[in-house]
Amino acid sequence: MIAKVIVDVAVNQTDRVFDYLVPAEFEDAIVPGMRVNVSFGPRKVQGFVLATDDHTDYDRGKLKPLAELIDLYPPLTEELLELSKWIKDDTLSFHISVLKSMLPAAMRAKYQKKLSLKSPEILNELPLSLQQFFKDDKEIENWDEWRKQANDEDKKQMMKAVKDGVLSVTPLVMTNETKKKQMVVFTEKTSQELAQASETLTARAEKQKKLLAYFSENLATHEKIPLVQLLDRAGVSRQTVQEMVKKGLLIKAEQVVDRDPYEGRTFEQSQPLTLMDEQQQALDPILSSLLEERHETFLLRGVTGSGKTEIYLQAIDYALKKGKEAIVLVPEISLTPQMVTRFKGRFGSRVAVLHSALSKGEKYDEWLKIREGKVDVAVGARSAIFAPFENLGIVIIDEEHETSYKQEEVPRYHARQVAIKRGQFYNCPVILGSATPSLESYARAQKGVYHLLTMEKRVNDVQMPQVSLVDMREELRNGNRSMFSNQLLSAIQDRKDKQEQTVLFLNRRGYSTFIMCRDCGYVAECPHCDISLTYHRSNQSLQCHYCGHIETIPSICPECSSDSIRFFGTGTQKVEEEILKIFPEIRVIRMDVDTTRRKGSHEKLLQQFGEGKGDILLGTQMIAKGLDFPNITLVGVLAADSMLHLPDFRSSERTFQLLTQVSGRAGRHEKTGEVLVQTYTPDHYSIMDVKSHDYLSFFDKEMNIRKQGGYPPYYFLVIIHVSDEQLDRVVSVTEKITGFLKNHLSTETMIYGPVASAIPRIKDRYRYQCMIKYKVEPKLTETLQEVIKTYQGEMARTGLAITIDTNPYMML
Ligand SMILES: Nc1ncnc2c1ncn2[C@@H]1O[C@H](COP(=O)(O)OP(=O)(O)OP(=O)(O)O)[C@@H](O)[C@H]1O
Ligand SMILES: [Zn+2]
Ligand SMILES: [Zn+2]
């Protein structure tokens, strides 16, 4: 038997299938999707089995045998293997990079496999020679160790038993964090026996008697209690417990704690709500597509608070009732406890949550629940699109406009495209939901490629919040130099008086806190990157966010020696201080990278705010989405236009989306909401349309601008980045590539460049780029592959790096 293997060597020459002989030992066990170890040249590398068959074009005598199977159960399904080929072509990535990115990070490390009998009654289904290993609940703790000393026939039989489902394999993930363990205590004695033993103790052994009494009163024989809990409840010391263990009355043991990140948390069970008319109209076509098992992509545009989540829940419920599975993607940042609670509350333990805040091991455990079919809903960020379900019934992408669905490293896939591909495979609906769909998606929906569903009203006819724009230039003219307008200050005071809550949003993206000299305009820049350094208050340093360079803050200007060198820009910490200066009695809950670094702190802060323990929730992008608190009646946006002028054709779109999202946090229930947007460009359309809640107006204007500029969705873009330590090399390579593209692509296709990238140098490497704009370009993939091939050797030998992004979102 021959295995077709993709090896883990990411260079062009190895980006194809290699044939290996399958030793007899593995013949019955090997399945496509498993990982294997193979020798490759002088090295031993990992690989993925794509297929097995009896044919090879090579001389069998020269083929090498597989060294070992890493998995006994394939982590990737046949469907995912197929999908990987498509992603590889679409993103021009190495096949191995795609395959690896489909698995949880923990699986990239080595792990130990435990073999056990599926259930005790089927022991006799095993060959006689193997029964000894599993009799009396015995297990094989470490498969790889066992294999080393077992005979070939046993090994073969063992693997067959795994494949036949008699034995189950439990991988124990070997990451730095091992399974959590705790000490437990129990007794094998009955309470009479304990009472008798107690009588034999001396009167002085008061504590010991107390401990035994606790056991006989509270715990059944064999019932375990965690040691810490016991000490606390029985009021005895560790030593007392130890003495009873020595006497053989109690037993201490270590127990593995299951890693359920949501353990101990109860989720109140929620029932499907009676839908509003608009909700029902949106849900119906989705249900028909589910019923008819027909793939369709829906774009659900529903204003903030229109009840999109309830539609997701009911659609999923329907899919589950048909015995199918569901994937829900949410942006990492809005994978908030509120969101998780809504899914766990409806579907309970049928939900696995894949969250970046989980440890590697926890993530792996959640993933395994999916692979083993123990859950049927997966909720997670981008990579959850690879959840290894085999009977997928629906895929939902919430906040579909979020750019975090595009992976910004190899493979540069977009989860939306992958979702649609999976939907086509399983003949199931894909729902893209947003209050502010991406221009690309809405344009497709208008053309009928996606099925458009619209909800213009909030649930229960709640009014959209009243949005006012505050012209900060005007404030300045009136002598207000602070970061708060008078209007915002009095609104905050007003909410405080009414005991209502305020959300203050500081848009920090593209808005750095930098050091500038007031006399000569000098700005502190990174010596390795062409970008200004960011001021870090916590340790009074200047840091580069691209390369990590740190330096101390100069007290005098290095250019003109003036001492009026100050830091500019506003951080959340600064905002908090300023608020407290003005309103010392106001309670501020600040949410930013600094206050949410600890695991669970994000959740805790939101909970405090929900319980009314804060008057103001102050934060960055982190608080823009997903929050649904009835008492929020004011949203203040401090710097609305800070990212409007970034060199990125999507900056207006992002501004509109973000402001609409934040505004949407206000007045979602009985109390009416107000939004104050502070801006220096109140007449920019992306800000004006937020005021009027007019997505369609924004869409039309922005589409026009894209049409004129030749940007998506009218054209497709490809960006080729070239970087190297030597500037002349970068320029000449980019020039050659540009020339090559001009010669090989069709005349209607436009090629721009070479130009320096928006950040022309990072980590002492110069960066150039060229851009392709096209409508139809049949020779695209082939030509780009040719570019990679041409420079493959040079890239391997020198520091030259060329990356191709076939659907760029990061323009910097
Ligand atoms: N049919 C319904 N009846 C009563 N309440 C509902 C109904 N549907 C949704 N809700 C409630 O309305 C509120 C807003 O709904 P939801 O958060 O799903 O809106 P959304 O469209 O996802 O908003 P956003 O885009 O702002 O996150 C929630 O508190 C939700 O429980
Ligand atoms: Zn730097
Ligand atoms: Zn100066």
Domain boundaries of the chain, sorted by first residue: 2-106, 111-173, 181-256, 277-461, 466-511+570-704, 716-805
Q: Return the higher-pLDDT residue of 636 and 597.
A: 636
The reply to whether ligand 1 has any atom less than 6 angstroms from the CB of 433 is: no
Those residues with Cβ within 8 angstroms of residue 803's Cβ, 6 or more apart along the chain or in another chain: 410, 720, 721
Ligand-binding annotation for 428, yes or no, is: no
Q: Cα–Cα distances in Å, from 203 out to 200, 215, 217?
A: 9, 19, 20
Q: How far is the C-alpha of 435 from the C-alpha of 301, rounded, in Å?
A: 5
Contact 621, 333 (CB under 8 A): yes
Of residues 776, 768, 730, the one with CA closest to residue 750: 776
Q: How far is the C-alpha of 807 from the C-alpha of 812, rounded, in Å?
A: 14
Q: Rounded mean pLDDT of 221-239?
A: 85
Alpha helices in 43-141 (DSSP H): 78-91, 95-101, 128-131
DSSP assignment string, 750-791:
EEEEEEEEEEEEETTEEEEEEEEEES--TTHHHHHHHHHHHH
The reply to whether ligand 1 has any atom less than 6 angstroms from the CB of 628 is: yes
pLDDT at 297: 98
Q: Cα–Cα distances in Å, from 719 out to 441, 737, 751, 772, 776?
A: 21, 12, 10, 6, 16
The reply to whether ligand 1 has any atom less than 6 angstroms from the CB of 310 is: yes
- Prediction pTM value: 0.82
The reply to whether ligand 1 has any atom less than 6 angstroms from the CB of 337 is: no
**CATH fold of 277-461:** Rossmann fold (3.40.50)
Those residues with Cβ within 8 angstroms of residue 645's Cβ, 6 or more apart along the chain or in another chain: 510, 651
Asked if the domains at 277-461 and 466-511+570-704 fall in one CATH topology, the answer is yes
pLDDT at 150: 85
pLDDT of 522 strictly over 90:
no
Q: 411: cis peptide before it, omega within 30°? A: yes
Q: How far is the C-alpha of 51 from the C-alpha of 32, rounded, in Å?
A: 5
> Using 50, 70 and 90 to split pLDDT, how confident is the model at 176?
very low
pLDDT of 175 strictly over 50:
no
618: tokens are 């102050």
The architecture that CATH gives domain 716-805 is 2-Layer Sandwich (3.30)
517: tokens are 């000299």
pLDDT at 508: 66
Nearest atom within ligand 1 for CA of residue 304? 26
Which single residue is written with the structure tokens 């001389």? Answer: 59
- Output the residue whose Cα is nearest ligand 1's atom 14: 305
64: tokens are 């090498």
Q: How far is the CA of 535 from the centre of ligand 2 (A)?
A: 13
Point out which residues pair with 750 in neighbouring strands. Answer: 773
pLDDT of 618 strictly over 90:
yes
Q: How far is the CA of 524 from the centre of ligand 3 (A)?
A: 10
Q: How far apart are the first and last CA of the chain?
A: 50
Alpha helices in 504-616 (DSSP H): 572-582, 601-610
Q: Return the higher-pLDDT residue of 620 and 431.
A: 431
623: tokens are 């608080």
Q: Rounded mean pLDDT of 447-461?
A: 95
Helix (H) or strand (E) holding 794: helix 780-797
Angle, to 10 degrees, between the axis of helix 277-291 and the axis of helix 308-321? 30
Angle, to 10 degrees, between the axis of helix 308-321 and the axis of helix 337-347? 30
pLDDT of 649 strictly over 50:
yes
Q: Which of 536-540, 557-561, 582-586, 637-641 has the highest mean pLDDT?
A: 582-586
Task: Please compute, for residue 107, the number of CA atoms within 13 A of its CA located in the half-sphere on the CB side.
Answer: 26
> Using 50, 70 and 90 to split pLDDT, how confident is the model at 484?
very high
Q: How far is the CA of 304 from the centre of ligand 1 (A)?
A: 8
The reply to whether ligand 1 has any atom less than 6 angstroms from the CB of 664 is: yes
Mean pLDDT estimate for the chain: 88
pLDDT at 694: 95
Amino acid letter, residue 318: Y
pLDDT of 204 strictly over 70:
yes
pLDDT tens by residue, 249-292: 998 887 766 555 565 566 777 889 999 999 999 999 999 999 99
The reply to whether ligand 1 has any atom less than 6 angstroms from the CB of 437 is: no
Q: How far is the C-alpha of 722 from the C-alpha of 720, rounded, in Å?
A: 7
pLDDT at 511: 46
| Helices and strands: H and E segment counts in the chain | 25, 32
Which of 78-82, 152-156, 650-654 shows the lowest mean pLDDT across its residues? 152-156
The reply to whether ligand 1 has any atom less than 6 angstroms from the CB of 275 is: yes
Of residues 289, 677, 683, 603, the one with CA closest to residue 451: 289
- For the structural domain made of 466-511+570-704, what CATH number should be given? 3.40.50.300
SS3 339: helix
**CATH fold of 2-106:** GIY-YIG endonuclease (3.40.1440)
Percent of the chain predicted with pLDDT > 70: 94
Query: Which of 308, 309, 690 should be mutated for ligand 1, with most atoms under 8 A from CB?
Result: 309
Q: Cα 414 to the chain's mean position, in Å?
A: 13
- Output the residue whose Cα is nearest ligand 1's atom 10: 307
Ligand-binding annotation for 770, yes or no, is: no
pLDDT at 256: 65
The reply to whether ligand 1 has any atom less than 6 angstroms from the CB of 302 is: yes
Nearest atom within ligand 1 for CA of residue 342? 31
Ligand-binding annotation for 526, yes or no, is: yes
Q: Rounded mean pLDDT of 236-244?
A: 89
pLDDT tens by residue, 290-347: 999 999 999 999 999 999 999 999 999 999 999 999 999 998 765 667 788 889 999 9
pLDDT of 70 strictly over 90:
no
Contact 100, 411 (CB under 8 A): no
pLDDT at 734: 95
SS3 219: coil
DSSP assignment string, 66-82:
P-EES-SS-SS-HHHHH
> Using 50, 70 and 90 to split pLDDT, how confident is the model at 113?
confident
Buried/exposed code over 773-804 (b: 16+ C-beta within 10 A; e: otherwise): bbeebeebeebbeebbeebeeebeeeebebeb
Q: Return the higher-pLDDT residue of 353 and 523.
A: 353
> Using 50, 70 and 90 to split pLDDT, how confident is the model at 540?
confident
